[in-house]
Copies of this chain bind each other. A is one copy, B any other.
Amino acid sequence: MKRKGSSPTMKDVAREAGVALGTVSKVFNGIPVGEEYKRKVEDAAKLLGYQVNTYARALKTNKTLTAALILPNTTDPFFSLLAGEVCKTLARRGYRMLLALSDADPDAEQQCVRMVEQNKVDGIIGLTYNPALEISESVPYVSIDRYFSPAVPCVASDNFGGGQMAARKLLELGCERLLFFRIGSDVPGEADKRGDGFQAACLQAGVEYEALRLRDEDGYAPFLAFLREHLREGRLDFDGIFCNTDKLAYHVARMLAELGVRVPEDVQIIGFDGIRRFGSEALYCSTISQPVGQIAETAVDILLQEDRTHLPSLICLPVSYVSDGTTKG
């Protein structure tokens, strides 16, 4: 039965449900309570036609229970997985997620930040490419994959450890002539450490390696040209390739197939990311897999932390090697 005239209040809902006011507040704020209490409150709210006025509450409490995620796009599977994990993690904490897409354009990224700051969100998680991004100190900000300063917490995979892992795995699998292929943004970021880790492990093992490092705008053609140059009588000068992304590994595997080089018999390939076909089916290649769920959870935990005086500068989360098709094990 809907009451007419005056709008029902939280107190009315508590009375109707026969629970304490605090319980009603918890339910409406997404804080876990017993299933039975939750149902009682929801039934009472429905019966009374009670509508939480988030905006009025936001003005009163200065909390919006809304956080924003800034990403370049949702086309790249790593970004879309991350969007899903951040959204689900925030929802479990009673938070809604605003999604803002920047197309990796520095100006658009700055506009995204300003836009969500204006919207008085309780925090921002950003995966951006603008090295000069201006962030307001009044809104908690957590960066993913890009380190700004000690004052801005950054969450990333253990990219350095992943690069080491790739080199060691290729050596362990019998490779003797290693190659590192890299393509990506010009802007320095945590992902660059994949190559650093690979180099460190090669040095430590006393193994030399060759490398070709390109920028996104160079495209994939130079990799094919490089492979052709190093092909002698159907045999490649290298027998182990570490690619800085699964997408690059996928392209390199296709190029080698075109050149008649067998993978993994003649050349073994390890990628980085752990991308699955259709988001949930088979991997594209043997890979260093990123812990996307853990990255999301850690970023949200830091974002919503009440005491903001002793936040970490950089948290690197453990990656894992997964064998699938492009290596011998």
Q: Which residues does A use to contact B, with CB under 8 Å?
A: 28, 51-56, 58-59, 64, 66, 73-77, 80-81, 83-84, 87-88, 91, 96-101, 115-120, 246-247, 250-251, 275, 277-281, 284
9 A–B contact pairs at CB < 8 A? A54-B119, A55-B55, A76-B280, A80-B80, A80-B83, A80-B279, A84-B101, A96-B119, A247-B281
User: Which of B54, B77, B80, B281 contacts A120, CB < 8 Å?
Assistant: B54
Least CB separation from A99: chain B residue? B99
CA distance in complex: A265, B247 (Å): 29
Q: How far is the CB of A250 from chain B (nearest CB, A)?
A: 7
- Contact between chains at B84 and A118 (CB < 8 Å): no
Instruction: Classify the secondary structure of A's interface with B.
Output: helix
- Contact between chains at A115 and B96 (CB < 8 Å): yes
**Copies in the assembly, this chain:** 2
- Contact between chains at A99 and B76 (CB < 8 Å): no
- Contact between chains at B97 and A52 (CB < 8 Å): no
CA distance in complex: A72, B307 (Å): 34
Taking CB atoms, residues of chain B closer than 8 Å to A91 are: 100-101
CA distance in complex: A98, B69 (Å): 10
CA distance in complex: A53, B277 (Å): 43
User: Which of B56, B120, B246, B281 contacts A53, CB < 8 Å?
Assistant: B120
- Contact between chains at B58 and A55 (CB < 8 Å): yes
User: Which of B59, B277, B281 contacts A59, CB < 8 Å?
Assistant: B59
